[in-house]
Structure 1
């Protein structure tokens, strides 16, 4: 179970006790915001893509969506999201619990600039009913972020 991978990773940093688990689903931005009683924009959603032959994660604020033109300009390829089966296999977490922590080796993590407007955000922790509240600086460190990017636009 991938929440166990995240828990084990967080144990090495002595922060496993900060994982929040819910009796309800937090698999979407809307469900997570409801479970956490916060605005959806503060949900740090992790979206998995295939860039050439490598899986990557882009973590964005919950009120944003990928801007295809910005994505292509940044990564040099069209945005191609992974299927749920591909995400589980290639990233190491199932859709609904995809997060930037304890991902499979070789998965690059990119954080979108849209997250920087918040003091804290809530990414998932590897299951469809978990999250952790982290500062943006903590998110950068804990995710082992490869780079900050600007590949999103506001949802209409």
Structure 2
């Protein structure tokens, strides 16, 4: 059902974007990068968080992490990751296929500036082996997302 809701979303809002189905799983950032031939940074992972009473989706670069301080400064509360059952209930998508498209109910969506380094990113598309290729700005426009800076780039190997 989730994959179908994403396909319906694109059929209505952006018929030029096609969902890519792969034989192999793309449920994790490394698997998705390998399946789509891109760097892990170019995968647009979607996380479901609670900030106080607000539940939101944050889409960010596959290698970025939430920066607790930046998040708290922006939202006034520490981020709490939701469990798998809650994520499915809110998004309609399985863990590993969570995306900001085809949601069952309006949910606040935030895109982290870490995505802006790339002309094209690869977010999941409602299944553990489905994705789309899309520009970060178009993804934000289609999902009515708000741009935020709540990410933390990974520490390079060997750096202290």
- Under TM normalisation by the shorter chain, which class is it? over 0.9
Encode CA deviations 1:111-152: one digit per residue, 9 max, x unaligned.
Answer: 00000111000011111001100012211122221x100001
Unaligned runs of 5+ in 2: 156-160
Unaligned runs of 5+ in 1: none
Q: How does 1:2-151 map to 2 (within 5 A)?
A: 2-15=2-15, 18-145=18-145, 147-151=146-150
Name the TM-score, length of structure 1 as normaliser: 0.94
Name the TM-score, length of structure 2 as normaliser: 0.92
Q: Distance in 2 between matches of 1:32 and 1:16?
A: 22
Q: Distance in 2 between matches of 1:134 and 1:17?
A: 8
Encode CA deviations 1:72-115: one digit per residue, 9 max, x unaligned.
Answer: 11111111001000000012212100001112323100000000
The Cα shift of 1:59 comes to 0.3
Structure 1 segments, 4+ long, off by >4 Å, are none
Count of residues in Structure 1 that have an aligned counterpart in Structure 2: 155
Compared with structure 1, are the counterparts of its residues 113 and 14 closer, same or farther at alpha carbon in structure 2 (3 Å cutoff)? closer
